Amino acid sequence: MPPAKRRHIAHRAPTLLVFGEGEPLPLPPPGIRPKNIPTAMSVTDLLAEPNPRDGQWGAACLRRCIAVSTGPVACSVHSDSYRRRLETAGWFVADPEADFPNAAEACWPALPSLARLALGVGSPRPALVFVGDASTHADQLPFESRSGTWLFLALRAMGYDELSCYFVNGLDHLRRRRTKRIAELGKAFNADSNPPTWVSLSDGAAEVLTAAKIPHVRGMSPAAHKRFAYAEGPAGLGAKLTALGIPPGPWADEQIPTASVKKLEPLPWPYNATSMHFRPPGGVAKLRGRDRAIDPVKRESARRMFITGEAPTLSAAAEAVGVDMTKLRQHAKHNGWAAEREEHLLNVTERVKERAAAAEGKAMANARRMSCALVEGGLVSLLRRLKDKSLIPTPGQVESFSRVWITLSSAVVLETQEEAAAKAIPLREQARMVLEQIERGLGGA
């Protein structure tokens, strides 16, 4: 797969048409095919699956993720098991005479937004969205690694098909946050009547989802689980994700229909992945000079101090950790520290406003309770004096008391009576009704 095109394959390749094995291809030859006619692949090529112990098993999952990213349509799939798998993943199974581009547009409404974002790979109508940390190279797809194979195996153990999931990284290969684009991705998915469950698989991914205000489940990185809990296997990772509240998938109690093969057939770009072990041309990319010149621990400490405001300026952060100011400024500009600091300040401001609003509401509630207590005490004293006839109110006092009573009890006691009618009620009866209302609560509870 040409490296320059890898980052653009998700949702940008022509709509894929999956047809039944042994069926005549319902498309004209490629040489005379119009541009709006999709490319084609047999269902057995799509669902081809080597042994999970084979290094090509993860590549087969990656092929399916790329295929479903194009907004595919199935045609003439007569195998009940294969058809059921595609329909369970949300695919539209059309007739050979169908209008395939319009069928794809109706089946995958979020596809235009995903094509514009060009972020991640997987189903345009996913049941689960997995957000990882960052790839090691700009042209690498999310989870295109051995730990990605570990995640795919864990999904199978949970009963999920990779055809119904979406995979994306919360940070780019330079570890810059993708908060705004992830938020737009969330809007595209949440517009569906059945929005997906978001799962963060790293601290960086969790921070991005929190900043994007997307509710999510905090999961464990497949790379970390593979390293520190290898004995548990992918099933152990799946069990931990299930324990976090992710419900079992539709294939939890039965085997997913697959087309068993010993070796993956060669397919045209972009479906020609044969390995999950990524090596860019010329070897692994080396660190830039400015990255290599600054100690990573000191660089991260300076970043934290600058973003949180502990250091008011970059020069103060550089002086605090003992690094060269010029090199730190170049690194901060290249990695967008200023934008991260602004985002952090906005989040802090919002939290302060929320706490202030909560404190103000609590103060109002306390004041209301104190006022009610004072009014109740005054009414008790007033009733006692009216009963022993030590108080003979004047007409003005009756009117003033009536207004207080109407204000306190109009929500329930005199909801439909006029003020003049309230004045006609004896003062002793008014006091008794107000006390009863206070005992029930001013809101009528």
DSSP states of 70-121 as a string? T--EEES---HHHHHHHHHTT-EEE-TTS-HHHHHHHH-TTHHHHHHHT--E
The arithmetic mean of pLDDT across residues 69-77, rounded, is: 84
* Same domain (yes/no): 16, 137: yes
**Same domain membership, residue 106 and residue 52:** yes
Give how far Cα 270 sits from Cα of 44, 267, 278, Å. Answer: 17, 8, 15
Give the model's pLDDT for residue 129.
Answer: 96
Can you tell me the mean pLDDT for 248-272?
A: 88
Convert the pLDDT of each residue in 102-145 to its tens digit.
Answer: 777 788 888 888 888 888 999 999 999 999 988 877 778 888 88
> 253 and 293 share a domain?
no
- Note whether residue 205 is domain-resident: yes
| Same-domain status, 394 and 435 | yes
pTM over 0.75: no
The answer to whether residue 397 sits within a structural domain is yes
Calculate ∠ Cα 325-326-328, nearest 5°. 65
Average pLDDT of the residues of the chain? 78
Q: Are residues 331 and 379 in the same domain?
A: no
Of 257, 278, 297, which one is at a domain's C-terminal end?
A: 257
Mean pLDDT score, 137-165:
89
Range of the domain at 56: 3-257
Q: Which tens digits make up the pLDDT trace of 322-373?
A: 888 888 888 888 777 887 888 788 878 888 888 888 888 788 777 767 766 6
Residues 379 and 242 grouped into a single domain: no
Domain termination site, one of 257, 272, 302: 257
Residues near 258 by beta carbon (within 8 Å), at least 6 away in sequence: 47, 48, 49
Residue that wins the pLDDT comparison between 433 and 321: 321
Q: Is residue 331 part of a domain?
A: yes
Are 371 and 327 part of one and the same domain?
A: no
In a domain, 293, yes or no: yes
Residues 193 and 328 in one domain: no
Assigned domain for 40 exists = yes
- As a whole number, mean pLDDT of residues 57-64 equals 91
Q: 14-57 pLDDT, tens per residue?
A: 567 777 655 555 555 454 444 444 577 888 888 999 988 888 89
Q: Are residues 173 and 228 in the same domain?
A: yes
Say if 359 falls within a structural domain.
no
Out of 72-76, 120-124, 409-413, least confident range: 409-413
Number of domains in the chain: 3
On whether residue 189 sits in a domain, the answer given is yes
CA distances from 228 to 101, 236, 239 (A): 46, 12, 15
Number of Cβ atoms within 10 Å of the Cβ of 439: 8
- Assess whether 14 and 107 both reside in one domain: yes
What is the structure's pLDDT at 14? 59
pLDDT of residue 374: 67
Q: Are 172 and 297 in a shared domain? A: no
In this structure, are 317 and 386 located in the same domain?
Answer: no
